[in-house]
Structure 1
């Protein structure tokens, strides 16, 4: 029999038991399986109080405009990402999505329309008959290039749409014009934004 001095404990009694501490915390939590959060933590998770109602008509109108601007910004951001619910009616649907991918996956002559049109406009104001004649020739040649590229693009759109959606009725003229009008815009300015890389196999 070992004698034990008063005030001294065995090592087994002095060492804390992690399992016991955890069980104690669970009991204190009221059976929820987690410790009760501290007061400042619980207050940090609570939603703030609602703003006070507007006191004047001017303030109410200002709040309404802010909310409308916020909704428009969210809608436009979703449409730029290609969110189906945020897109305008003319851009919705898997068929329109396919047409956009076909246009965005190739290098279109129409993408340079604004650049060439700006150069032609500048050439018209140069008081030199030779430069003006050359400008008219460039404009006419570029117009023929756009026409030929648009015909090729229209055929490609028809082919892809009939391959992917053969059992659906399609308004091909509308789809082709939708693709050609998108092809005349600079790639970074297109809306919704392109979702396929240049040269991708659509």
Structure 2
């Protein structure tokens, strides 16, 4: 009685296959997955070059074009710095300090303009009355900046303690950061103000 579990060696051999035509080979190649890896000993298929940019050498820029490109990159970097600021401007406490300063009118914005007036008015060629007025103006500006700085620092200290009780930011550094911003003209501040004058912080 013949065995049902034993096959002849002829049955185990792969059936003969006919060679594929070039069209059939392309169709079979397209049906394969991207993750397909050919068996050892076979040639690795090359990636299709359709739609890829030719790896030609780029045309070197002329002197004027390179200069214009550098100017454009500097302008873009300056605009980005104006919007986002630098490393010293990062952190929620610094943003809060900027908003406190930008939401109010500060005496410091008039400090440098007043200093120029005082410098001109205190010249020895000026009449004594003008020199006296210049000195009084200088004293008033200095006193105003001191009072304004104290008020800004107290406001920042209160808000930081309320909103960031676990903050590790050094308060002295934060006060100085805010004071330096308060004596800078609003249009020249960087990062640019995000709140309007009078807004609630």
TM-score scaled by length of structure 2: 0.65
Q: Secondary structure at the match of 1:127?
A: coil
Label 1:197 to 1:171 Cα distance change in 2 as closer, same or farther (>3 A). same
1:118 match: 116
Deviations 1:89-137 (A, max 9, x none): 1112222111111100011111111221121112123421221122112
Query: How big is the alpha-carbon RMSD for the aligned residues of Structure 1 and Structure 2?
Result: 2.3
Q: Aligned pairs, how many?
A: 146
In 2, distance between residues paired with 1:50 and 1:145? 64
Higher relative contact order (CA 8 A, sep 6+): 2
Deviations 1:39-61 (A, max 9, x none): xxxxxxx9xx985125xxxx4x6
Label 1:69 to 1:163 Cα distance change in 2 as closer, same or farther (>3 A). farther
In 2, distance between residues paired with 1:134 and 1:53? 63
1:201 match: 200
1:133 match: 132
1:79 match: 81
List alignment gaps of at least 5 residues for structure 2.
Answer: 1-52
1:38 match: none
1:151 match: 150
In 1, distance between residues paired with 2:57 and 2:175? 51
Q: Cα offset for 1:201?
A: 0.6
In 2, distance between residues paired with 1:151 and 1:163? 19
Q: Cα offset for 1:65?
A: 4.4
Describe how 1:51-200 pairs up with structure 2 within 5 A. 52-54=59-61, 59=62, 64-82=66-84, 87-125=85-123, 126-200=125-199
In 2, distance between residues paired with 1:153 and 1:133? 30
CA contact under 8 A between 2:94 and 2:174: conserved in structure 1? yes
Deviations 1:74-101 (A, max 9, x none): 122122223xxxx311112222111111
Q: Secondary structure at the match of 1:179?
A: helix
In 1, distance between residues paired with 2:139 and 2:199? 31
List alignment gaps of at least 5 residues for structure 1.
Answer: 1-45
TM-score scaled by length of structure 1: 0.65
Deviations 1:109-167 (A, max 9, x none): 11111221121112123421221122112211221111111111111111112222111
Look at both structures and tell me which one has the larger radius of gyration over its CA atoms.
2
